[in-house]
Chains A and B, each alone.
Chain A
Amino acid sequence: DAGVTQSPTHLIKTRGQQVTLRCSPKSGHDTVSWYQQALGQGPQFIFQYYEEEERQRGNFPDRFSGHQFPNYSSELNVNALLLGDSALYLCASSLRGAAAQQYFGPGTRLTVT
């Protein structure tokens, strides 16, 4: 049973560029949440997708957008990258309506230069 997978593992981008990160949820899960973890900090919630719609959003600007596909996989897009967007981006999957267990992927390390 595959857990949560994310790609790519590492990414280096330049300020002003755009980036797309990908996540495949754990088998049987239908909800995907994205978190940003800056160095030395705890993860911060970006947004959550269920039934291909954004259901909840944290305090992040519109430069952060996402998408969920019919197979429940998800993408996180960040436009006009800033140096401060450098972080570990974590995807978590869960089954809506079930007991509270969000499983995290290994993350994508984004470096903006």
Chain B
Amino acid sequence: GEDVEQSLFLSVREGDSSVINCTYTDSSSTYLYWYKQEPGAGLQLLTYIFSNMDMKQDQRLTVLLNKKDKHLSLRIADTQTGDSAIYFCAESMSGNTPLVFGKGTRLSVIA
């Protein structure tokens, strides 16, 4: 069955890098996503990666995918207080199939 696991909390100092990790079980997952949710808000798509890629970089965000270990990570460089939020890892088999989410990692940035 499908399952996505994330650590629940991460605390970093402003200016440091944050690394949020995720593992998934469905080897047929084609797309892997990172969403950000601020308090009382919906989900903001940060980035996604195809399963045939190892890495994707977008400004301060770097996504690494280890398909063999079914491990996905999101690195945020120069973390700012505005990055404090809950980050969700999600997977899907295709662009039109449902997203399967983890429980989210709450990132706290200490000034």
- Interfacial residues, chain A to chain B (CB-CB below 8 A): 4, 6, 31, 33, 35, 40-45, 48, 50, 56, 58, 90, 92, 94, 96-107
Contact = CB atoms under 8 A, between A and B. Distances in A.
A35 B42 CA distance: 11
Contacts of A33: 98-99
Contact of B44 (A41, A42, A100, A104): A104
A45 B43 contact: no
Nearest to A45: B98
Nearest to B41: A106
B42 A104 contact: yes
Interface core residue of B43, B88, B95, B100 (most chain A CB under 10 Å): B43
Nearest to B92: A100
Contacts of A6: 42
Shortest beta-carbon contacts, A-B, top 7: A42-B101, A100-B95, A45-B98, A104-B43, A100-B31, A106-B42, A104-B42
For chain B, the bracket of interface size reads: 20 to 34
B96 A96 contact: yes
A44 B98 CA distance: 9
B71 interface: no
Contacts of B100: 45
B103 A41 contact: yes
Interface string B69-98: 000000000000000000010101011111
B101 A43 contact: yes
A45 B45 CA distance: 16
A11 to B, nearest CB: 15
Interface in B40-66: 41-45, 48
Contacts of A45: 98-100
25 contacts: A40-B103, A42-B90, A42-B103, A43-B43, A45-B100, A56-B97, A56-B98, A58-B98, A90-B43, A92-B43, A92-B99, A100-B33, A100-B92, A100-B95, A100-B96, A102-B45, A102-B99, A103-B45, A104-B35, A104-B43, A104-B45, A106-B41, A106-B42, A107-B41, A107-B42
Interface-centre pick from B31, B98, B99 (highest chain A CB count, 10 A): B98
